[in-house]
Amino acid sequence: MRVKLSKTLVLISLLLFGRAQAAVADTAADPIGYQVRIAATGSNALDAAVAATAELVSSRETAPVSGYGLIARARHDAERLAVVMESFGYYQSTVRITINDRLLDDFALPEILAALPVGEVARVAVGFALGPLYHLRQIDIDGDVSVTSRAALRLMPGDPAIAASVLAARTRLLEAQQTEGYAFAVVDAPVAYEDRAEPVLDLVFRVRSGAPAHIGLIQYSGLERVQERAIRHRIALHHGDLYHPALVEQARRELLALGVFATVSVQLAEAPDANGDVAVGFAVRERRQHAVAVNAAYATDLGGSAGFSWTDRDFRGTADQLVIAAAGTNLGGHASKNVGYDASAKYITTDWGRAGQTLQVSMGLIRQSLQAYDQEAQTLGVTVSRPWGTEWRASMGISAAEERVVQQGRIDRYTLIALPLGLSYDSTQLASPLDDPRRGARASLSLAPTTSFGTPNANFLVSQLKASAYLDLQTLTGAAVGRSILAVRALAGVAQGAGQYSLPPDQRFYGGGSGTIRGFRYQSVGPQFADGTPIGGTAIVAASVEWRQRIAESFGAVVFADIGQVSSTLKPLPSVLRTGVGVGLRYYTPIGPLRLDVGLPTHRSAGTDAFQVYIGLGQAF
């Protein structure tokens, strides 16, 4: 024999996680203090739910009560905690609450509490008799659904009858129906039947699928500067597509990725239109058209840098961007000789030619006076990039540079024409490179066939492979998710087709600094002239490992080790390796961690500094 439970699982869930909003009616002018002792149930999850639900705990300091009010609060908690027990599958449980060792229905209890001496607190004890744990026996679906939807329940006979698990199964069933195109499917709250003879429950999920729906009218609200015609073709959601929640969410993300909207929310019609389709609305809030950002960094080798950028997020009303940036560089530092600058202008248009494809046109002016060489250059580049799936991106372009380079007193002028190709992978799921990566990996491969017109002329290919990975150590350390991260980085590069001296100095590889081997001065690792000036090499290998530990809410610390080599040829087994080790501090801000690293070389030779300091925004990699 089985009977339908008097409380639905929805009510159980609400009472489990909700809080009473009304204060106890009897809050006397002379409240009494009390202490609460709650017996352990043997389940950490159940104990946590009890502590979160008990008003005796949550209101003890914030809402003082009289003796009568304390009794009323305890009676209220007895009812609430009974529902908590049921939500965890204990349908024959009892809750026992005593105050000063007396039951709540003891007629003498109010007088005892009223007679408490001043300063003495009442003793509240909460205990439980759990009874048997109920399990699921039979799970039925009332409605015509596919095998895939049935499998989405992920409930099996014999599972504990835990309300949260049952309600999660209902959500998965509804999502499975919507994934199959049933936009207006309804899954009622599951009905549970209790068997009087044994501790088991039978569940019934009632499903009303309706007819499969297609995407109907797509509308936008909240547009001000941005032209609707300019963004309508930029999403991969079209009228007539079979409804799928993932397609709608992808369209929402595509609109956000344009960079002109602060928020994008989806508004689905509550009922099908005359054709049985589902209308989709996107409510947007535009960001400010113009943005100004300032930046600064410091390292003992390269010195300080400071600059700004100005961005027009909607240059022509089509979500195209214009970015103008300028910075002063090499403000002091051991590896720089004079102040330099870096100025650039970029025009970026998304969905150029096809959805997801980006066109970038850039111009730049560079001046830098480094330990290895002095350089003045004007650059121009055009790059087209497009996504490949959700984690890959490919790019190709053409670039030109006119430059003047001085090394060892020799002045050379070069005209460089390159056809850069790139392939990148990113599974960190972060919106900004300044965000703190806690999982996933990043990798990039770049190839730059280049022709150099200068002294001498040369044709060469510069290839670089970079990779980094991030592992959450939560399972090993027992810390909370995202608190302890192991980060690793690897770099390999080679220039082919030109010798060490026929390759322009700025196209050669150099080691040292925050991008390769911390603890060594920028460009100081690798071949050198007789006076110690870096020559640069045609090959580089480097690797880093870093342990990042979050401390409290806003601070963190790191320990790192870097190793690498620059040479005239790429060697499978590097022979002259340089190693740097160090520690750092992090202060986490809403736009990324503020970084302070101190690196020390493990081996010092003539001209090697004792340490290097690096300050910047964002992790080192």
What are the structural domain ranges in the chain?
2-129, 135-208, 215-286, 290-617
Per DSSP, 506 falls in state: G
Tokens 């305890």, residue located: 74
Q: Counting beta carbons within 10 angstroms of the beta carbon of residue 309, is it exposed (0 to 12), middle (13 to 18) or buried (19 or more)?
A: middle
Which pLDDT value is given to residue 603?
A: 86
Which residues of the chain carry a pLDDT beneath 50? 6-29
Which pLDDT value is given to residue 2?
A: 61
Which residue type occupies 155?
L
Q: What CATH number belongs to 135-208? A: 3.10.20.310
Pick the CATH number of 215-286 from 3.40.47.10, 3.40.1160.10, 3.40.710.10, 3.10.20.310: 3.10.20.310
Which pLDDT value is given to residue 574?
A: 65
Beta strands in 419-479 (DSSP E): 421-426, 440-453, 458-472
CB atoms within 10 A of CB 597: 23
- H/E segment holding residue 76: helix 67-87
The sign one gets for the Cα dihedral 573, 577, 583, 587 is negative
Angle, to 10 degrees, between the axis of helix 67-87 and the axis of helix 44-53?
140
Which residue type occupies 608?
T
Distance CA 603, CA 577 (A): 10
Q: What CATH number belongs to 290-617? A: 2.40.160.50
Which pLDDT value is given to residue 7?
A: 44
Number of H helices, E strands in the chain: 10, 29
Distance CA 580, CA 602 (A): 6
Q: Where are the alpha helices (DSSP H) in 234-384?
A: 245-257
Instruction: Determine how β-strand 135-142 pairs with β-strand 200-208.
Output: parallel
* CB burial string 359-381: b at 16+ within 10 A, e below: bbebebebbbbbbbbbbbbebeb
Which pLDDT value is given to residue 263?
A: 96
Please check whether the two domains, 135-208 and 215-286, share a CATH topology: yes
Token pair in block for residue 276: 């049985």
First CA to last CA across the chain, in angstroms? Answer: 64
Q: Where are the alpha helices (DSSP H) in 419-491?
A: 474-477
Distance CA 413, CA 404 (A): 5
Radius of gyration of the chain (CA): 33
- What is the separation of C-alpha 433 from the centre of its chain, rounded to a whole number of angstroms? 11
Per DSSP, 505 falls in state: G
Per DSSP, 116 falls in state: P
